[in-house]
Amino acid sequence: MSNENNIIEFKKNYERIVESFKCFYNSIIDAIYIQDFDGKFIDVNEGAVKMYGYERSEFIGRTPEFLSAPGMNDMEETMEHLKKAAKGELQIFEWWGRRKNGEIFPKEVILNKGKYFDKDVVIAVARDITFRKKMESKLQESEESYRTLAENLPAIVYRIYLKENNRIQFFNKYVEEMTGYTSESLCSHNKLLPLFSLMSDDEIEVAFSLINHSILHKNPFIIRYKIKDRNDNIKYLSERGRPIYDNNGSLIYIDGVIFDVTEKVLDLQRIEKYSKELEEINKSKDKFISILAHDLRNFTHILLNFSNSLYNDIDTLTKHQITSIANCIMSVSQNQSALLENLLEWSKLNLDKRKVEPEKVKLKELVSDVINLYNFNITTKKLSVKNSIPDNVLVFADKNTLKVIVRNLLSNSIKFSNPGGKIIIDHIYEGDKVKVFFIDYGVGIKKEIFDKLFSRDEFVSTRGTLNESGTGFGLLISKELAELNNGNITIDSKEQEGTKVTLILPLSD
């Protein structure tokens, strides 16, 4: 029953992580859609539900076409954006939506490839730009209102006078807030791009092409690019411009606004990051449960076999045989208890519920108690274990977690010692710390395993010299518990020569 409770606790921990991701996902105001490569919705957040008025279940399995304002979007072009995003190309465009109540509204959409658990998907972030569209319309009504509104917009507002050698005029000071540069320093290049000097060559070439196309066809343009501000921070921008002509059809200037869309892009990246982390946690959980179940099953089978032997053959067994079986049952029970205790500590650490209560601890006494726990294992392997720590060594640590650490370190020394070998537990002082050494002369650690010993992403399980099993996460738990006690664990090992594990602990005053 204890084993079932601990596995349930581990699963609850995993579910809490998933719930945290969902809370983050649904806390974003903008609409977020998770789509497969055919455009079908896999999931949407609360922002999408509020934006359109549909229930989440009404989205699932359908494509953006059912959200489209009739006759106002080119769906082939929309699908082309989706295909490009599926290939890893960031897509940003405007789109007209229709709410459930029939209201039509404009929005800006950002598409990018991402991961949703273990599935490749396209992640879309959409923002209602009704207000912004109204603002842009008002800007065209008069120069004065244009200036007034521009000063209050969280965007760069500019005009490029083509009949004056492409002179650039900024209508607000937001350019300094966004880039860190003064408007005067950015006006000196006389190009069709206000932030020309902050862009990469590739993006400049694409931007000029779009502007020239816009001028040729007398259409507005939208450019997406990134810049480096004065502090070398990367910022993602969305620039919208419109060529303005006189009554004779001659081009006189270009008006435009530049919005900082960095947060939107970073939101997409964060979602992808959380999805990848969840995927890794899921893989780690599956592997961990598989190893744990295997070891617990082995322990259970051994206990059942010995118990069955005692039950069926008690009248024919000698006292020596009964004692031997009892010792084996005790040893297996101890190993099973140690495994479950490690699992409990692992759960507490992952839930951030492990608190330490440091006190003065007599180190020699604690180590001796742990050695006695493993007396059967030591006797079975005919090992010599020498506790060379003096009686007067006092450390300042949480006694319960320190027992778990020492138990794991000694257990590993026993596990990887050759029969008839020796284990030495010694110490040296170093400032206000004590270094406790667990030295064995066993099989050592292979390099490919050594590099993964403290990895949370991959549990490494290695059989002992008498085929002893283990989950491979006891050492990781010990290191994290040592750090929780203001200490540390380091390892020095040579294959076939033995291993020296150093436990560093603070001394008691």
Choice between 324 and 362, residue whose per-residue pLDDT is larger: 362
Fold designation for 132-260: Beta-Lactamase (3.30.450)
The three-state secondary structure class of 266 is: helix
CATH number of this structure's domain 26-128, picked from the four choices 3.40.50.1370, 3.50.50.60, 3.30.450.20, 3.40.640.10: 3.30.450.20
Structure confidence at residue 367 as a pLDDT band (50, 70, 90)? very high
Structure confidence at residue 313 as a pLDDT band (50, 70, 90)? confident
- For residue 75, pLDDT beyond 90: yes
- For residue 210, pLDDT beyond 60: yes
Amino acid at site 399: K
Q: How far apart are CA 201 and CA 190, in angstroms?
A: 16
Q: How far apart are CA 343 and CA 471, in angstroms?
A: 10
Please tell me the predicted confidence (pLDDT) of residue 151: 72
Q: How far apart are CA 126 and CA 93, in angstroms?
A: 10
- Please state whether beta strands 221-228 and 359-362 pair in parallel, antiparallel, or not at all (unpaired): unpaired
Ordered strands of the 91-98 beta sheet: 41-44, 31-35, 119-128, 104-116, 91-98
The per-residue pLDDT for range 225-248, each reduced to its tens digit, is: 999 999 999 999 999 999 999 888
Comparing 12-26, 79-93, 374-388, 478-492, which segment has the lowest mean pLDDT?
Answer: 12-26
Please tell me the predicted confidence (pLDDT) of residue 1: 47
Choice between 19 and 327, residue whose per-residue pLDDT is larger: 327
The per-residue pLDDT for range 144-192, each reduced to its tens digit, is: 666 666 677 788 888 899 888 889 888 788 888 899 998 888 887 778 8
Q: What is the mean pLDDT of residues 43-64?
A: 92
Q: What is the mean pLDDT of residues 434-454?
A: 82
Please tell me the predicted confidence (pLDDT) of residue 276: 79
Residues near 386 by Cβ (< 8 Å), separated by ≥ 6? 422, 423, 424, 425
Structure confidence at residue 82 as a pLDDT band (50, 70, 90)? very high
> In what helix (H) or strand (E) does residue 183 lie, and over which residues does it extend?
helix 183-186
Please tell me the predicted confidence (pLDDT) of residue 229: 92
Instruction: Please check whether the two domains, 132-260 and 355-506, share a CATH topology.
Output: no
- Please state whether beta strands 251-260 and 384-387 pair in parallel, antiparallel, or not at all (unpaired): unpaired
- Specify the CATH number of the domain 355-506: 3.30.565.10
Choice between 129 and 352, residue whose per-residue pLDDT is larger: 129
Structure confidence at residue 484 as a pLDDT band (50, 70, 90)? confident
Q: Is this model's pTM higher than 0.85 or not?
A: no
Question: Do 109 and 77 form a contact (C-beta atoms < 8 A)?
Answer: no
- For residue 17, pLDDT beyond 60: no
Structure confidence at residue 452 as a pLDDT band (50, 70, 90)? low
Per-residue 3-state assignment (H helix, E strand, C coil) for 358-385: CEEEEHHHHHHHHHHHCHHHHHHCCCEE
Q: Is the alpha carbon torsion for 27, 30, 31, 35 positive or negative?
A: negative
Please report, for the chain, the start and end positions of each structural domain, with discontinuous segments joined by +. 26-128, 132-260, 355-506
